């Protein structure tokens, strides 16, 4: 039984891998571009999910950390001729470092207060970028950011080729977060999310756990930022506004907070939607707002939760036997509880 299931799972993974690999060959440039944007946001939203979904801390600073990654990588490569891979790595280090600094201050606060402080930092980072034209180009931004050098005959100035960098980046990020939450520290993060005071009773150094989570998440945001810069070849402070922060948050919430697939679904959904709604673009924010309210009211576990509950309903209607077991538990529970 389990062997069958494993074989099924493996073939499913193989199928997904093949589909993902051939996407740029089958689809046109426009569709590949949309998918690439989704991929970059999957990295960014997955990083946000580590601190928001798994550690339970609502951060608005991620758009700023994303910007730091984007600017560091561009400036290093253009002004200092640092090779692409090293710029990518250093942009992660820079974001992690600023994440650490922001965390040192912001994580002294909890809940809404933490959110407000991070919101302030997100804006401060954007304003600094805006007001340092010598380094960052100020409001004009940075143009002609070089593409990564060609390898294996892939020309990364083409969207369908850059796709593979984003694919590898997104898969690596998702796998890293999945691995992370399986570790001892990852479990402590979940404990902090569930109940911070109780986590202290158990002997978890909650502050340290939150710092680790925030810094790692900042590094991943920087990673996303670097890829974003080299892919779009142009960045400006207007790409990193508070509104973008809110969109990121929506992606996590609508996809499914604290799940591996939630951010993937959320990013895909919220990037595809405006593309489909091009004609009514001025209504975008209204639609997003309505979606947020509806999600929180009717599917608090996001799209992923919705799919899961549909799946369970289909399953239980097929095999009613499996329900007897839990039904009994419920009755017993009532008699014990009363």
Q: In the 3-class helix/strand/coil scheme, how is 226-272 assigned residue by residue? A: HHHHHHHCCECHHHHCHHHHHHHHHHHHHHCCCCCCHHHHHHHHHHH
Q: Which of 81, 134, 153, 184 binds another protein (CB under 8 A)?
A: 184
DSSP-based three-state secondary structure for 153: coil
**Binding residues for another protein restricted to 196-255, rule: CB under 8 A:** 197-198, 200-205
In angstroms, how far apart are the furthest CA atoms of the chain? 72
How far apart CA 280 and CA 273 sit, in angstroms, is 11
Contact at 8 Å (CB) between 71 and 136? yes
Report the residue number, 187 or 284, with the smaller CB distance to another protein.
Answer: 187
Q: Which of 79, 158, 195, 316 binds another protein (CB under 8 A)?
A: 195
Query: CB within 8 A of 291, min separation 6: which ones?
Result: 250, 254
Closest distance of CB 331 from another protein, Å: 11
Q: Which of 153, 320, 327, 337 binds another protein (CB under 8 A)?
A: 337
How far apart CA 144 and CA 102 sit, in angstroms, is 30
How far apart CA 313 and CA 9 sit, in angstroms, is 21
Q: Which of 191, 221, 254, 271 binds another protein (CB under 8 A)?
A: 191
Residue 237: count of CB within 10 angstroms of its CB: 21
Q: Structure tokens of 302?
A: 């996001």
Closest distance of CB 193 from another protein, Å: 9
Q: Which span sits near another protein by CB under 8 A: 15-23, 107-115, 180-188, 303-311?
A: 180-188
**Binding residues for another protein restricted to 296-335, rule: CB under 8 A:** 329, 333
Total chain residues near another protein (CB under 8 A) = 20
x/- letters, 139..178, toward another protein (CB under 8 A): ----------------------------------------
Q: Which of 42, 174, 188, 268 binds another protein (CB under 8 A)?
A: 188
Report the residue number, 281 or 338, with the smaller CB distance to another protein.
Answer: 338
Length of the chain: 338
How far apart CA 40 and CA 62 sit, in angstroms, is 14
Closest distance of CB 305 from another protein, Å: 13
Contact at 8 Å (CB) between 76 and 145? no
How far apart CA 20 and CA 169 sit, in angstroms, is 13
CA 90 to each of CA 56, 71, 74, 84, 87: distance values in angstroms, whole numbers, following the listed order: 28, 11, 11, 10, 5
x/- letters, 65..104, toward another protein (CB under 8 A): ----------------------------------------
Q: Which span sits near another protein by CB under 8 A: 57-65, 103-111, 187-195, 282-290?
A: 187-195
Closest distance of CB 337 from another protein, Å: 4
Q: Which of 194, 290, 315, 328 binds another protein (CB under 8 A)?
A: 194
Q: Is 22 exposed, middle or buried (0-12, 13-18, 19+ CB in 10 A)?
A: exposed
Closest distance of CB 218 from another protein, Å: 24
Contacts to another protein by CB under 8 A: 184, 187-188, 190-191, 194-195, 197-198, 200-205, 329, 333, 336-338
């Amino acid at each position: 039984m389990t062997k069958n299931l494993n074989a099924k799972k493996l073939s499913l993974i193989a199928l997904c891998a093949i589909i993902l690999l051939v996407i740029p060959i089958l689809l046109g440039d426009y569709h590949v571009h949309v998918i690439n944007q989704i991929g970059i946001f999957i990295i960014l939203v997955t990083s946000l999910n580590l601190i928001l979904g798994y550690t339970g801390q609502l951060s608005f600073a991620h758009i700023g950390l994303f910007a730091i990654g984007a600017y560091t990588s561009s400036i290093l490569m253009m002004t200092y001729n640092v090779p692409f891979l090293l710029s990518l790595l250093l942009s992660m280090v820079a974001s992690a470092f600023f994440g650490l600094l922001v965390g040192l201050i912001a994580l002294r606060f909890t809940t809404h207060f933490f959110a407000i402080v991070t919101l302030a930092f997100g804006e401060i980072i954007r304003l600094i970028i805006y007001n340092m034209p010598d380094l960052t180009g100020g409001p004009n931004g940075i143009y002609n950011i070089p593409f990564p050098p060609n390898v294996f005959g892939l020309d990364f100035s083409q969207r369908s080729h850059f796709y593979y960098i984003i694919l590898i980046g997104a898969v690596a990020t998702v796998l890293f977060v999945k691995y992370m939450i399986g570790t001892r520290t990852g479990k402590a993060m979940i404990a902090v999310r569930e109940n911070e005071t109780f986590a202290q009773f158990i002997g978890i150094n909650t502050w340290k756990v939150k710092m680790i989570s925030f810094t790692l998440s900042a590094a991943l945001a920087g990673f996303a930022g670097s890829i974003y810069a080299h892919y779009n070849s142009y960045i400006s402070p207007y790409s990193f506004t508070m509104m973008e922060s809110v969109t990121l948050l929506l992606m996590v919430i609508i996809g499914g907070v604290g799940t591996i697939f939630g951010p993937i679904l959320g990013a895909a959904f919220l990037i595809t939607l405006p593309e489909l709604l091009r004609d009514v673009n001025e209504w975008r924010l209204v639609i997003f707002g309505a979606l947020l309210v509806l999600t929180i009211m009717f599917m608090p576990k996001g799209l992923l939760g919705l799919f899961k509950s549909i799946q369970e309903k289909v399953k239980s209607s097929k095999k009613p036997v499996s329900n007897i077991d839990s039904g009994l538990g419920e009755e017993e529970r009532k008699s014990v509880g009363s």
